[in-house]
Structure 1
């Protein structure tokens, strides 16, 4: 592995350790949610956080990537640029949050959650805080301060987990008299059993509020300025990124919004559409093993790709990065899919949630191709042709909407999963094809597709293995065999790994 690739791997590790450990702590809340809340209640969390994902993109409107691009230009005045973009985000976030607060009642009625306006109020503040701190986080990444970035993110996640446990477990159990009944008068002013899943949102808000003191130095290290003459260049570069982000959210989140509306009533016997949404949302969480790797990679890769844009050896480095990224994700795809029999009961506590496990391998593979897309999309970012990203994302959005419309009434949440897979595969393939024209990179695509094809066949064949103890053993054995084959065949030759001294 080249020195530059090792540098990227090292940065990915720093971002990834905190992200993976922190997100895994957050992921451990899934057994709590699926044990404490019915699928219909968890469907509320699934749907509202899907809307949050869209609004997070709108509130930042591509300014993080624009900041990276303009800050890396020769002679860039980074402090001035930071002040300009941070001021812009501060103003737009306050306006956006205010608009939501002024319309909470009609929004709650439109979403079929009348009387739950408090959920939307808390989420509005969550979104605003996320947007305001997005640029300080981008600055930490640009300056290579991965440890502080990772530490702040990790503390936020730990706080969210701790507060959720406090409200959903401790306060609820004390209120019900399971233990420490003498504390009931103390928690009575701060706990209401009627709020239910609302404590998921409240815990998130309180944890996000901690960003302000932890990033106080970065948040106050700027002069408020709105130089409107400097906005058009930022907007011109950033709005395609925003459109790509929105399209990405459509591809990832739209099914969680549309499922309860497009699913025929009674499609799943004995379950409401809201419950089906909760099941789909919980099973989607099992693809987090893939999402964690992609997220950690993205944090380190974007500034890395920009910093290496002028290196003549960058195409070889980019190809090497994609190869090992894809192989690592392939191991996760195979490992999780072959071991769902024992993984799922640990995480999805109620049996009703495990009825949707068939979507997990599909979603894992879909997220793998999303990661491939992030890799091969480097060409249009480095050549300032971000409009191609918009075209690809819009095409993916059209495909997602169309396939969801056609498949949800026929296949339910399996149809939604297949739509996601088709979308991400198509986007990755089209982006790779266009990249060969504008910025050729020697990606070993044929070889990588063989490994992915072998994984798909392995998982499909495993589906015919009858239930029983031998199925558990075989799943782990096949995972180890696949990993061993990858390492044996793909490891660099000895001559490439050993430096011979004269």
Structure 2
């Protein structure tokens, strides 16, 4: 079986294929796509992310969790998984039909700034095919088949990227080409994915299994919906107060911050199995050490990214999109805040009696984030959306901290971890925003290089102490 480091590496490579290459292709996309195109893509992908939560009633995520129970009884696993897969398709058809009627009644004149046709029906079709595609990925992860995970995603990446580049560059189809390429790719891999896991399922409809699974998944829907609302409300609100072009700039800002997101997400995929394994062995010291190092390392990377992203943008991105530069540092550090949430909430996912607390975190974050967006976006536009996003992620990890502090078996040094985040985020945002207006170009470069050198030195020093097993125990005292 592959080691945890191997899983982390493979998941990172997969995420690089899915998101990192899109980041590298930003110069190409910004040349051939307009701000309106970016805004259309943003509203479409945002709608898919948000509506996917209710499209399957959480069965796609429930299947992965219940797989660990099902595999204890190999004789019935195919019927159980098959029943849930069939139920997913039935729910998808039913909910998709309802949403189509809703669209015809209320959005025929436009859907948050984008044309109803052809984009709204395309969104619904993507919503139908995507859950099964995501489920296949998640099953490979649950089975710790990281190499299959890589191959499956790699093939999808090649197909989707080829179709996207051809439709955008050669056919010059704009936003329709981007969304259409994703739809065609998901359509192909919907069937390919089902074929790939054919030995794990067979067509069936066991209503008892479906009912039990829905009962398990239902409490997680507010959690998932809250998380998606917190992450996506800014696009809708920005489009409402301004126009879809501003939404396009925000979308580009999120794309520019994707390297930080993929590092955080890949680490979490590898960390969760490690967390469960170590906690079951009552070995929490290594969890604390890795957690603190990850916060320090990600904060260091985010600091460097926030300080130099403006230079990269100016050199490589079309000038019509330079308005997004100012928000990228805030979005980069919002992903570091999400990493803190992963650590503080891990025990809530581990303890079945505490999972009911998870929606409190995400719903609180969503409510505050949406409220801040309505206030800040109206007055500050793009900047307000980015500030609201960072604030909502801070609320998310603070709620996880408050709800897990008393009973968590992992005695995190909460004070130090949060202090590192606040210090690095404060320095990164303040320096990248205000220093260029008061310092010469050479002085600004010198300040950034010094800050990066110091932060990398601190991170390297911690890692040296970690690998030599000489970390002072005092830094892990709970605070």
TM-score, length-scaled by structure 1: 0.84
User: Does residue 213 of structure 2 align to residue 234 of structure 1?
Assistant: yes
User: Does residue 202 of structure 2 align to residue 203 of structure 1?
Assistant: no
Deviations 1:473-495 (A, max 9, x none): 65345323311221114533565
| 8 A Cα contact 1:67 1:81, kept in partner | no
The offset of 1:255, in angstroms, is 0.4
Q: Structure 1's 473 and 148: CA in aligned 2 closer, same or farther, altered over 3 A?
A: farther
Query: Who is 2:435 aligned against?
Result: 464
Query: Who is 2:475 aligned against?
Result: none
**C-alpha distance in structure 1 between counterparts of 2:372 and 2:413, whole Å:** 30
Deviations 1:45-71 (A, max 9, x none): 111211111122222433344334333
| 8 A Cα contact 2:113 2:239, kept in partner | no
Secondary structure at the aligned position of 2:219 is classed as helix
| 8 A Cα contact 2:33 2:175, kept in partner | yes
**C-alpha distance in structure 1 between counterparts of 2:382 and 2:388, whole Å:** 10
Alpha-carbon RMSD? 2.7
- Structure 2 gaps, min length 5: 472-479
Query: Who is 1:426 aligned against?
Result: 395
- Structure 1 gaps, min length 5: 173-194, 264-272
| 8 A Cα contact 1:61 1:239, kept in partner | yes
- Structural mapping, 1:68-87, within 5 Å: 68-73=64-69, 76-77=72-73, 78-87=77-86
| 8 A Cα contact 1:104 1:117, kept in partner | no
User: Does residue 332 of structure 2 align to residue 361 of structure 1?
Assistant: no
User: Does residue 37 of structure 2 align to residue 57 of structure 1?
Assistant: no
**C-alpha distance in structure 2 between counterparts of 1:226 and 1:297, whole Å:** 36
User: Does residue 148 of structure 2 align to residue 130 of structure 1?
Assistant: no
Deviations 1:243-266 (A, max 9, x none): 211111111110001112134xxx
User: Does residue 153 of structure 2 align to residue 144 of structure 1?
Assistant: no
**C-alpha distance in structure 1 between counterparts of 2:412 and 2:19, whole Å:** 30
Query: Who is 1:111 aligned against?
Result: 111
| 8 A Cα contact 2:164 2:178, kept in partner | yes
Q: Structure 1's 125 and 161: CA in aligned 2 closer, same or farther, altered over 3 A?
A: same
The offset of 1:388, in angstroms, is 0.6
Secondary structure at the aligned position of 1:339 is classed as helix
| 8 A Cα contact 2:373 2:385, kept in partner | yes
- Structural mapping, 1:345-384, within 5 Å: 345-349=314-318, 351-384=319-352
Deviations 1:82-106 (A, max 9, x none): 2232222122123233444555544
**C-alpha distance in structure 2 between counterparts of 1:247 and 1:112, whole Å:** 20
Moved more, 39-48 or 299-308: 299-308
| 8 A Cα contact 1:63 1:234, kept in partner | yes
| 8 A Cα contact 1:341 1:472, kept in partner | no
- Structural mapping, 1:56-455, within 5 Å: 56-73=52-69, 76-77=72-73, 78-101=77-100, 104-106=103-105, 107-111=107-111, 116-172=116-172, 195-212=173-190, 214-221=192-199, 222-263=201-242, 273-313=243-283, 315-349=284-318, 351-384=319-352, 385-455=354-424
User: Does residue 460 of structure 2 align to residue 487 of structure 1?
Assistant: yes
Q: Structure 1's 442 and 328: CA in aligned 2 closer, same or farther, altered over 3 A?
A: same
Deviations 1:430-449 (A, max 9, x none): 21222122323121333333
| 8 A Cα contact 1:52 1:123, kept in partner | yes
**C-alpha distance in structure 1 between counterparts of 2:457 and 2:56, whole Å:** 43
Query: Who is 1:185 aligned against?
Result: none
**C-alpha distance in structure 2 between counterparts of 1:455 and 1:323, whole Å:** 14
The offset of 1:161, in angstroms, is 1.8
| 8 A Cα contact 2:113 2:244, kept in partner | no
Q: Structure 1's 114 and 435: CA in aligned 2 closer, same or farther, altered over 3 A?
A: closer
| 8 A Cα contact 1:287 1:363, kept in partner | yes
Instruction: Report how many aligned residue pairs link the two structures.
Output: 461
Secondary structure at the aligned position of 1:441 is classed as coil
Secondary structure at the aligned position of 1:210 is classed as helix
The offset of 1:469, in angstroms, is 5.2
Deviations 1:268-293 (A, max 9, x none): xxxxx222221122122211111111
TM-score, length-scaled by structure 2: 0.87
Secondary structure at the aligned position of 1:86 is classed as helix
Q: Structure 1's 140 and 334: CA in aligned 2 closer, same or farther, altered over 3 A?
A: same
**C-alpha distance in structure 1 between counterparts of 2:431 and 2:133, whole Å:** 47
**C-alpha distance in structure 1 between counterparts of 2:408 and 2:426, whole Å:** 33
Aligned match for 1:28, one of 24, 28, 42: 24
The offset of 1:304, in angstroms, is 4.4
**C-alpha distance in structure 2 between counterparts of 1:114 and 1:485, whole Å:** 47
| 8 A Cα contact 2:364 2:395, kept in partner | no
Query: Who is 1:191 aligned against?
Result: none
The offset of 1:403, in angstroms, is 0.9
Query: Who is 1:43 aligned against?
Result: 39
The offset of 1:302, in angstroms, is 4.0
